[in-house]
Amino acid sequence: MRDRFEIVVPTLFGLEAMVGRELYRLGYDTKRTENGRVTFDGDYDAVARANLWLRCGERVLIKAGEFKAETADDLYEGTKAIEWERFIGKGNAFPVKGHTTRSILASDRNSQIMIKKAVADRLCRKYGCERMPETDTEYQIQFTIIDNTVTLMIDTTGAALHKRGYRAKSNLAPVRETIAAAMVMISYWKFEEPLWDPFCGSGTIPIEAAMFKRNIAPGLLRSFAFESFSQIDKDTVRDIRDEARELMHTDVTLDITASDIDPAAVELTKMNARTAGVREFIKVSRCDARKIMPDKPCGSIITNPPYGERLGTVEECRRLYRDIGKSFADLDRWSFYILTSQEEFERDFGRRADRLRKIYNGMLKCNLYQFYGNKPKRKK
């Protein structure tokens, strides 16, 4: 699997640095970080590892080419000049999708048609056929045209990476798995300390926390588009998956609690945790977040309360924030990491965050408010 290329990992806005850090831990240096994407150099081995291990990235794309285009002709010629036969075989399907932003070529649909035609023309000439049959394995082509720069990529992921495979059913307003993982990784939670999500919903944050600390590769439960690519050596992929199973930490003790006021959410969390293989590490109970009583002096609350967008009214949410602001005030050695889109959150909670980080949950701008617990007083 030695063919090398640039690999692009699209991310939710705000998670680029987290993905860069994850890539570094996997042994890859970031080449470029832009809004919503991180690029690095790699081969098919890197494609397999990135898909299997990235907790905060949305997908893994092979960059086929990049060029400037201001006219339909530029787009056609630039696309046709790319060595598509390096990736796409004679029988492979190659649907095209993408979008344009701040560019002269402003139509997504027209750009998509032009790119499809240029790739088809190139491949027909290379393979000596009149039209491509497109009956075999799919290589999804994705394009972006941003500020007149066309980037053409091949998707290796399939269903986006946040679809881990453990959350078959979900409640009304689940946070994306990639954001939940980022919240845990951003926090200073140490695994000998307790972690509590008092608004657990479908359990995403506690599950991602347990998977992270047990070093469970987030992609172990699912398959990826690249696994049917002809360039992929099946034995290597099997070895990478086997290695991931061996790298799981089996000897960790975790103190993770998930609670929610809604009994259906409690059951859902239990079911999802079981599917993810981390049920035994998470205590799940029904409880009003305003009344939680941790029995340890310090720990981390990492949570995503209702924000009045999809659950409850804004006024109800603000009252809830005021209530938890008062009840959490007693937990002075606990740290809180709270994700919400409500701009007034600090005022309602009654405390200014020590740190604030913008994260986009899709199109919804949220803030991760970080409040650090007091350090224990030194004995004189």
Ligand X SMILES: C[S@@+](CC[C@H](N)C(=O)[O-])C[C@H]1O[C@@H](n2cnc3c(N)ncnc32)[C@H](O)[C@@H]1O
The reply on whether position 202 binds ligand X by CB under 6 A is yes
The CB-of-63 to ligand X minimum distance in angstroms stands at: 32
- CB nearer ligand X, residue 75 or residue 205: 205
The contact mask relative to ligand X for 77-116 (x = CB under 6 A, - = no) is: ----------------------------------------
Q: Which of 314, 303, 288, 299 is nearest to 337 (CA)?
A: 303
Contact call for residue 284 and ligand X (CB under 6 A): no
**C-beta nearest to ligand X: residue:** 201
Which is closer to ligand X, CB of 93 or CB of 311?
311
DSSP label at 290? Answer: G
Q: For ligand X, which residue of 14, 174, 194, 308 counts as binding (CB under 6 A)? A: 174
Residues 336 and 269: their CA atoms lie apart, in Å, by 21
Q: Which stretch binds ligand X (CB under 6 A): 145-153, 202-210, 244-252, 327-335?
A: 202-210
- Site for ligand X (CB under 6 A): which residue of 15, 265, 278, 359? 265
Distance between CA atoms of 247 and 231, rounded to whole angstroms?
A: 26
Using CB under 6 A as the binding rule, whether residue 262 contacts ligand X is answered as yes
268 vs 170: CA distance, rounded Å: 7
* Residues with Cβ within 8 Å of residue 200, at least 6 apart in sequence: 206, 258, 259, 260, 265, 266, 269, 284, 303
Report the DSSP pairing between strands 149-155 and 61-68. antiparallel
Tokens 């990826």, residue? 224
What does residue 124 show for φ and ψ, rounded to 5 degrees? -65, -40
Is 207 an interacting residue with respect to ligand X (CB under 6 A)? no
Binding residue (CB under 6 A) for ligand X from 204, 335, 361, 370: 204
Cα(208)–Cα(272) distance, integer angstroms: 11
Contact residue for ligand X among 80, 98, 311, 347 (CB under 6 A): 311
Regarding 173 and contact with ligand X (CB under 6 A), the answer is yes
Residue 308 binds ligand X (CB under 6 A): no
Q: At its nearest, how many Å lie between ligand X and the CB of residue 50? A: 24
Q: Apex CA 136: angle with CA 123 and CA 67, to 5°?
A: 40
Roughly what angle, to the nearest 10 degrees, separates helices 72-80 and 108-127?
30
The Cα–Cα gap between 22 and 227 comes to 22
**For the chain, how big is the Rg over CA atoms in Å?**
23
Among 123, 205, 232, 237, binds ligand X (CB under 6 A): 205
Q: Which is nearer to ligand X, 50 or 266 (CB)?
A: 266
List of residues 6+ apart from 54 with CB closer than 8 A: 9, 19, 22, 23, 26, 60, 161, 218, 219
- Interface region with ligand X, contact rule CB under 6 A, candidates 122-130, 200-208, 275-283, 361-369: 200-208
Query: Which residue, 150 or 266, is less far from ligand X as judged by CB?
Result: 266
Residue 9 vs 175, nearer CB to ligand X: 175
**Binding-site member from 6, 260, 346, 348 for ligand X (CB under 6 A):** 260
Q: Of the candidates 108, 136, 255, 288, which one interacts with ligand X according to CB under 6 A?
A: 288
Beta bridge partners of 41: 6
| Residue 271, token pair as written in the block | 């079911």
Stretch 313-342 residues interacting with ligand X (CB under 6 A): 320
Least separation in angstroms between CB 227 and ligand X: 28
What gap in Å lies between CA 117 and CA 374, rounded to an integer?
A: 62
CB nearer to ligand X: give 229 or 321.
Answer: 321
Residue 261 found at the interface with ligand X (CB under 6 A): yes
Angle made by CA atoms 229, 230, 233, in degrees to the nearest 5: 90
> Judged by CB under 6 A, does residue 72 bind ligand X?
no
CB of 206 to ligand X, least distance (A): 9
CA–CA dist 119, 94 (Å, integer): 9
Handedness of CA 316, 335, 292, 192 (dihedral sign): positive
Q: Which of residues 142-171 bind ligand X (CB under 6 A)?
A: 171
If one asks whether residue 218 binds ligand X (CB under 6 A), the answer comes out as: no
Contact residues for ligand X, defined by CB under 6 A: 171, 173-175, 198-202, 204-205, 260-262, 265, 288-290, 304-306, 311, 320
